[in-house]
Chain A
């Protein structure tokens, strides 16, 4: 009898190969599923800003309301970044010589804007409107996280389409009284569902998941 052309262990090769391929394919898909998703690529984005501005200090320790600087958030589609003037309201008196504030004073002196780096970026074909969300009882914290504790602002939510849709399909857990929108320490009532139902009825809040809501 002729010798077998292949050693015996090769009998196991096809299932091993199959399993290996499956692992590689599934692993690849899983890799991109996770590492390619905004949850990984965007969450945690914390660019270096031209001014070492601390939200923790201003909004947290000093207790400034978000709207002291972002004063048009309830009126405008965009949450405005404050003009240099707003910084100088205080910093002509507070720490007027600070090294860290040099770019601010430079901007104030030259009239050139401070080139802040955008942290929360949406694709340009998606139109988000701050005013309508805030007036519907969605707090800053829902999308931006607890900014009062952030030294450097970073993105905490994926801001992906499916993440938007989750809330548009069921906004109840995120609703709060309009008076509490900037309150980072707000505690949802125990009967949040009940509150949300009533709040939505009173304020006619019926978000939808139509394409036209965000895309024009």
Chain B
């Protein structure tokens, strides 16, 4: 589309002058009118679709939007070809000689390594105070893929996109490669010598001018070192800072119980869950086990089963809100009052909340009383098996109240347990602010920063940068030479967690070891190595430091045997700790209720971690940058998210640039309309606008930390916006490959499902299906098939990144995404349904459906896409000539075309992240999901070598393995006992577009919601049963 022809400006932001980009042509009023005309539940994917603009029509009708075949940067395809013609002719002369390939064997073969056969090692990925147990696939010492460790409580064999993408982070060529002094290249030895003399000074006064600023951690070794520093240098300071953490949650629990305790939620035991601004399925800590539990409580095998019910009250539209059975729009800063209103209602219905006397003032409120009444009664009915959770953004006082509510509802000891914190250094904003003040006052002589990036992500009002410049001697340990490195005196490259020794404790207390998969690629140091050096002056390897800690942990029996066992399993068996009895202090809770903050006035600004780049630490990771955000489906950006009504009030449309003023600070950024977000509120993702992240992350998005101050870390009021008359290109994956008006996602309420258990397969009526072709016989041998349960799928996107990692899928960049050329083999379609203010959302992972009667195969002129006897739709890259007919004929739009040679300029080091069992594709070929054929082949060969059939569960696709919800099953359809066969025999099973008689091997289990009967919206029947057309 012509509006996508836009220019790059110098800083990499593509801006459009006076044009409009993927935006609504109709006025807001007309749009609202369109929406109101929608009878009942009609799915729409974007405002463009709703508006039915000519651009949108064209986008849909053309598989590849106009201009998609043009080269970027003004070079047209034609001139490109003529240039290439010359160079090919010349290359042809030199190309006659056979290329010589070398084989470099080991000199001394390591034990237990068979070249060509990957090995799996257990390790742990730390992230803030959380730790996720992982298994890393390693090819001759080269890690290539990460899976969850089934023995670890926080990952339970699954993973999330951050874990998956950390593989690419290891091979990031922009990582720091040397020690620097004042940004000039230096070496470790000079640093060591310099510090040793300083250390002598610090020893004299007990470390009075010494401060260590670390990231939050839960690690026995780091905790031991921190304790040692505090003992050896009584006057020194060790403080941890994280821009986003569970600090408020710990503080709230301390308020209520007198002690900082670790809450451990078991969502699987909760029949009714109330989330107060908690995105526990996506951006909160421990989301893998949360999704596991939530999905377990929701899984249905037949209409006779029961399922949990999720209520969400939130301002931003989160992933958790999108799967809720009932979602209430409440501005983020109003959540405390809302929670108090819930508590007051609970009390009115006879629940005795300790300290609840203070709730009387909250009984009068403006919230939907009926909603509150139903929620309260539902929670009470599920007493003991219910759970109330609040998000990290909410103040400590609210968390204290939530602890009291959970106590009163009998959830304590069942769906929520408290564990004594051990080996943890929690983020401490006040301590950090105090440290910065001392730095500013010149009291800190030496500052050691173990990781973190405070110049970028400290609250803006602290002016960390100025304070840092007043410190005589500063050291920054970091993966990249980032914003903080620029201002620190010394920089030491940090070893990636896949390169270093360490340890961690999961939230339930389980101990695990971080073991290196590879020697540090750039000679980095781990945080425990540097911490140890800083306080002792001895340069000791991390291995020794960690083993010293573990000698105390593994005291019974022989150390070496137990240590090897821990390395093998990845966890110390039986190290999970039991819960402690938490006594809620009534008067403290009463006090907390009294101190619940009031909602902010005026236009509210809310900060949240990005579901892609977290707090900015993953900004240089292309896989994450290109992962569409779950609700907006935007890639490579963080516009201010705004509700439809508020956008209309300010006359704003998608991509309009605004000047956002907040307490004297301002930022220019575009807006994006999110239907269903609370009105009068802007939601800003943190983690973008990096200036020294690396080549991928620099200049992507907008630095929202600049608006964030220590007084208003998560919600601030009184913002002002000025519309600028310019627009900005936002690359959304949402309009691409739309499928219109057909029941692609089939859903029903639990009651409807019980009434009509076969609703899903019967939703589409069609004449008898007859094939034009002879249908092959699939009754023999393995027949691979997949099922995805839309009831348990939450749409988190872990599958998509896992697929990218497993299958060597390239990233294409923002410009190409906006041209509709993203390469993800697995996409998560997100549909809105209902009205613009309070729409429902449905997610559907879509990948190649492996049709038995595949339309793509019928149009390929060179037979590059073929079917095999096991029902797989194959893509033979070396045959493909790039006609793209297959993609045009694919009803599901799951085929991806290599418009360019995306891997050509790939640095050698990133090539190390490639899976050697999967072909790297060249320009001009089509590609798509293969059902992880390399894994099928491997399983078949292994079975053959041991003379047996492939067992059920032996082949797991990458998406299936990553999925924390267990929503994906895969296996042999000819095996009557296989799990996938059993799943497909359920009555919710349906094939997408089955009326086309393509007979997909991937089928879906219809989505069942469980709304409360008293809160059901009335919907006309007809819209649910859309006809095909």
Contact = CB atoms under 8 A, between A and B. Distances in A.
Contacts of B117: 72, 75-77
Interface stretch (A14-22, A114-122, A168-176): A114-122
B878 A132 contact: no
Interchain residue pairs A-B with the least CB separation, the first 7 = A78-B116, A118-B101, A76-B116, A210-B868, A83-B106, A113-B104, A83-B109
Contact of A116 (B105, B108, B114): B105
A212 B101 contact: no
Which of A115, A210, A211 has the most C-beta atoms of chain B within 10 angstroms of its own C-beta? A211
A187 to B, nearest CB: 27
B102 A115 contact: yes
Contact of B115 (A72, A121, A208, A213): A72
B877 interface: yes
B917 interface: yes
A88 B937 CA distance: 36
Given A72-B116, A212-B868, A212-B874, A135 B945 contact: yes
B708 to A, nearest CB: 47
A119 to B, nearest CB: 9
Given A75-B114, A132-B945, A80 B98 contact: no
Given A81-B105, A107-B107, A113-B107, A216 B941 contact: no
Interface in A190-216: 203-204, 208, 210-213, 215-216
Given A115-B104, A210-B874, A212-B874, A80 B116 contact: yes
Nearest to A75: B114
Contacts of A85: 106-109
A83 B919 contact: no
B970 to A, nearest CB: 16
21 contacts: A45-B98, A72-B114, A72-B116, A72-B117, A75-B117, A75-B945, A76-B117, A83-B106, A84-B105, A84-B108, A108-B107, A113-B107, A204-B947, A211-B868, A212-B868, A212-B870, A212-B933, A215-B878, A215-B919, A216-B918, A216-B930
A116 B868 CA distance: 37
Interface of A: 41, 45, 47, 72, 75-78, 80-86, 107-108, 111-118, 121, 123-125, 127, 129, 131-132, 135-136, 203-204, 208, 210-213, 215-216
Nearest to B864: A211
Contact of B105 (A47, A75, A83, A136): A83
B878 A125 contact: yes
Contacts of B102: 115-118
Contacts of B106: 83-85, 113
A111 B110 CA distance: 13
B917 A211 contact: no
A124 B919 contact: yes
B930 to A, nearest CB: 7
Given A80-B115, A123-B878, 4 more contacts: A72-B117, A132-B944, A135-B945, A215-B876
Interface string B785-816: 00000000000000000000000000000000
Contacts, number: 118
Contacts of A108: 107
B107 A116 contact: no
Given A85-B107, A85-B108, A216-B934, A117 B100 contact: yes
Nearest to A110: B107
A147 to B, nearest CB: 16
Interface of B: 98, 100-109, 114-117, 866, 868-870, 872, 874, 876-878, 917-920, 930, 933-934, 937, 941, 944-945, 947
A147 B933 CA distance: 34
Contacts of A75: 114, 117, 945
A212 B100 contact: no
Contacts of B114: 72, 75-76, 80
B941 A129 contact: yes
A118 B100 CA distance: 7
Given A45-B98, A116-B102, A83 B108 contact: yes
A81 B103 contact: yes
Nearest to B863: A211
Nearest to A208: B869
A146 B658 CA distance: 76
Nearest to B108: A85
B867 to A, nearest CB: 9
Contacts of A211: 866, 868, 874, 876
Nearest to A132: B941
B958 to A, nearest CB: 13
A116 B102 CA distance: 6
Contacts of A82: 105
A116 B115 contact: no
A192 to B, nearest CB: 23
A61 B876 CA distance: 44
A216 B916 CA distance: 11
A82 B933 CA distance: 30
Contacts of A72: 114-117
A215 B105 contact: no
Contacts of B866: 210-211
A116 B105 CA distance: 8
Contacts of B107: 83-85, 107-108, 111-113
A158 to B, nearest CB: 14
B213 to A, nearest CB: 41
Contacts of A116: 102-105
A116 B106 CA distance: 11
B515 to A, nearest CB: 24
Contacts of B930: 216
Contacts of A41: 98
Given A84-B108, A216-B933, A216-B934, A47 B919 contact: no
A65 B889 CA distance: 55
A44 to B, nearest CB: 11
Contact of B877 (A81, A113, A125): A125
Nearest to B937: A216
B103 A77 contact: no
Q: Which of B103, B917, B920 neighbours the largest number of chain A CB atoms within 10 Å of its CB? A: B103
Contacts of A123: 878
Contacts of A136: 944
Contacts of A76: 114-117
A199 to B, nearest CB: 14
A162 to B, nearest CB: 14
Nearest to A129: B941
Contacts of B108: 83-85, 111
A85 B105 CA distance: 10
Nearest to A161: B878
A76 to B, nearest CB: 4
Contact of A114 (B105, B874, B919, B920): B105
Nearest to A135: B945
A125 B874 CA distance: 13
B874 A131 contact: no
A137 to B, nearest CB: 12
A53 to B, nearest CB: 12
A136 B944 CA distance: 9
B939 to A, nearest CB: 12
Contacts of A208: 869
A216 B808 CA distance: 12
A83 B105 CA distance: 5
Contacts of A45: 98
B860 to A, nearest CB: 12
A113 B105 contact: yes
A97 to B, nearest CB: 20
Given A75-B117, A216-B930, A127 B917 contact: yes
A77 B116 contact: yes
Contacts of A127: 917, 934, 937
A210 B917 contact: no
Contacts of B876: 211, 215
A191 B629 CA distance: 66
A123 B920 CA distance: 12
Nearest to A121: B101
Contacts of A213: 937
